Amino acid sequence: MNLEGLFEWGTATDTGRVRSNNEDALAVDTSLGVFVLADGMGGHKGGEIASNLAITSLLDRLRQTLPPLKPGQLDEALGYTHESIAIREAVIHANRTIYESAQAQPQYEGMGTTLVVAVFYDNRLSIAHVGDSRIYRLRNDQLEQITSDHTMLQELIDRGFYTEEEAQRSMHRNLVTRALGVEGSVAVDIQEELVLPGDLYLLCSDGLHDLVGDAQLAERLAACTDLNQCAQTLVDDANNQGGKDNISLILARPIGDFPAKRRWYARVGNWFR
């Protein structure tokens, strides 16, 4: 399903005010409806290598597996669309690529990266993520965090040891419990969402969401017209709060509906479901 020209989108990435190099990476392929962001970690430029490997490996795999699919078709056994399954397999492949690269080069041992990827098709969205990079959605001026961080702090919140307010002051907020490339296998969270016209999606690294709160994010996103300019404004907001980490984000907004083309008898069948 070719989605070229059906989205407004913008990106921004910045080293921040403390780090010496940028270990974040991001990419957009609008023909496939793919938006992906990674936040690397590891010394000797390991984080930079890991995040770029994740992006390259994922896109290479999705460019092979997504085009042949019939958009939105459900795998009854797994309960997910074929797109979601393809994304999950691509993330697992990226994990293996990073892990094997680190094993072959001792100076990069332990390198890893977060990853969040959104794929649009048939008025839907499939999301895969590992780590604490996030996806938010602004709908009718209401901001919602769609993904849940894979961090020690989030686990403590889920178990009732911290409130959200207490978590903001915690020293442990950036201890991730999952990352690509650290081990030979990884658990990947998959979500599927319906997309409505006017929805605005934000993918971002923790360099943004750690420093710019939900209220400010919602205010900025609600005022967005030029998405590249809006992305840069959010980077500036994070830097004005200290810029303690690399800051990266992608904004994506569908322009109207993008249903898959179906034969007339398939459309009739859908009416009676």
The mean per-residue pLDDT over the stretch 201-221 comes to 98
Q: How confident is the model at residue 172 (pLDDT cuts 50, 70, 90)?
A: low
Alpha carbon distance 270, 47 (integer Å) = 46
Angle between helices 227-240 and 214-222 (to 10 degrees): 150
Structure-model confidence comparison of residues 154 and 238, the more confident one? 238
Structural domain boundaries, residue 74: 7-271
198 within some domain: yes
The answer to whether residue 132 scores a pLDDT higher than 70 is: yes
249 within some domain: yes
Q: How confident is the model at residue 41 (pLDDT cuts 50, 70, 90)?
A: very high
- C-alpha distance across the termini of the chain, in Å: 23
Angle at 28 between CA 5 and CA 136, to 5 degrees: 95
Q: Helix %, strand %, coil % for the chain, to 5?
A: 35, 25, 40
CATH number at residue 230: 3.60.40.10
Location of structure tokens 């691509």:
90
Per-residue pLDDT at 266: 47
33 within some domain: yes
Our count of domains for the chain comes to 1
1 within some domain: no
2 within some domain: no
Per-residue pLDDT at 257: 87
93 within some domain: yes
At 140, list the tokens. 């009718």
CB 31 within 8 A of CB 23: no
Percent of the chain with pLDDT over 70: 89
The mean per-residue pLDDT over the stretch 184-192 comes to 97
- Answering whether pTM is above 0.85, one says yes
163 within some domain: yes
